[in-house]
């Protein structure tokens, strides 16, 4: 018997020491891989904000584009992005969450349910340009919406509904079955159980799908390219009210993602700082919205009962 083991019979042996060393190596390798993923993102964001620093100011945010974006600011694309996100979220969130509840809680395990699941999974893999063409045919032409904010929001809603449905299903499935059984044993109906027990304990997971919908709606270009986005829109901006509500649902609108595409590719003589300024504001908008949503999700997750 070695001196170490004789003096301390509970000391780790050679096998345990090797296992711990292997565990530490694996942890450090994974940490290094995570850092390697984060560093390029931080470098890219830092470079964008550095190149955009000459124009980044409150006046740049509040002013409207002039001379096809060569001068002025980005208020109209920014507020148009907010409108697009809010309208698409109002359309897709109720439908997606209710569909997820039905599939997970009510739908029987038969061929129809399996077909619905397969359709949701397949819809998630459709390229965004295909959704754009569908939006033109279904909303712009067939339903007579024309190229408008509503048509673009409906197209975004169709594109993002699989994300919310899948996130809702997974969040509901993560709630222990014992919670449901305890409610049923107390005489509660299925809907009472879902409303008072299942949904409050799965709201953080449902918000994950909502967060992804917000990010995708704000950053997508192809779905709004043919359905309502415009390179330039003439609107009244004489008062604060005009600036806060420059668009109606049946109007064409400006969006940051499409505005970035236009100023980067379509307009000659565009100052470099205007291109980088648009990209920096778009990234900052997504980061701010996601940070708020993630904070809310973490708060709700901390209130889980298991």
Residues 218-230: tens digit of each pLDDT: 888 888 988 988 8
pLDDT band at 217 (very low <50, low <70, confident <90, very high): confident
Q: Which of 264, 260, 263 is nearest to 282 (CA)?
A: 260
pLDDT band at 304 (very low <50, low <70, confident <90, very high): low
**Residue 206 CB burial class (10 angstroms; 0-12, 13-18, ≥19):** buried
Mean pLDDT (the chain, rounded): 85
Whether 5 has a pLDDT exceeding 90, the answer reads no
Q: Which of 208, 114, 127 is nearest to 165 (CA)?
A: 208
Superfamily of domain covering 63-302: MetI-like (1.10.3720.10)
Whether 291 has a pLDDT exceeding 90, the answer reads no
DSSP single-letter state for residue 55: T
pLDDT above 70 as % of the chain: 94
Q: Of 45-49, 84-88, 189-193, 239-243, which gets the smallest average pLDDT?
A: 239-243
**pLDDT at residue 11, as a whole number:** 66
């Amino acid at each position: 018997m070695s001196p170490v083991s004789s003096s301390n019979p509970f000391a780790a042996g050679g096998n345990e020491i090797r296992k711990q060393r292997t565990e530490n190596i694996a942890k450090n390798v994974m940490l290094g891989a995570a850092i390697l993923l984060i560093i390029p993102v931080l470098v890219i964001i830092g470079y964008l904000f550095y190149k955009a620093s000459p124009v980044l100011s409150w006046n740049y945010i509040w002013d409207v584009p002039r001379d096809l974006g060569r001068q002025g600011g980005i208020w109209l694309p920014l507020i148009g992005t907010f409108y697009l996100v809010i309208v698409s979220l109002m359309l897709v969130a109720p439908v997606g969450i209710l569909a997820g509840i039905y599939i997970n809680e009510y739908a029987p395990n038969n061929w129809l349910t399996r077909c619905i699941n397969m359709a949701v999974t397949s819809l998630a893999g459709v390229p965004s340009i295909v959704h754009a063409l569908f939006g033109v045919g279904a909303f712009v032409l067939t339903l007579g919406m024309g190229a408008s904010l509503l048509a673009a929001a409906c197209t975004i809603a169709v594109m993002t509904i699989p994300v919310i449905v899948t996130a809702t299903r997974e969040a509901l499935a993560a709630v222990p079955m014992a919670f449901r059984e305890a409610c049923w044993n107390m005489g509660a109906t299925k809907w009472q159980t879902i409303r008072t027990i299942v949904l409050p304990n799965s709201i953080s997971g449902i918000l994950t799908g909502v967060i992804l919908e917000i990010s995708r709606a704000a950053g997508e270009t192809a779905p709004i390219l043919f359905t309502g986005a415009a390179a330039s829109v003439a609107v009244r901006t004489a008062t604060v009210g005009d600036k806060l509500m420059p668009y109606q649902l049946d109007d064409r609108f400006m969006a940051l993602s499409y505005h970035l595409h236009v100023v980067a590719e379509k307009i000659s003589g565009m100052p470099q700082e205007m291109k980088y300024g648009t990209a920096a504001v778009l990234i900052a908008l997504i980061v701010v919205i996601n940070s708020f949503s993630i904070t809310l999700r973490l708060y709700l997750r901390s209130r889980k009962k298991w």
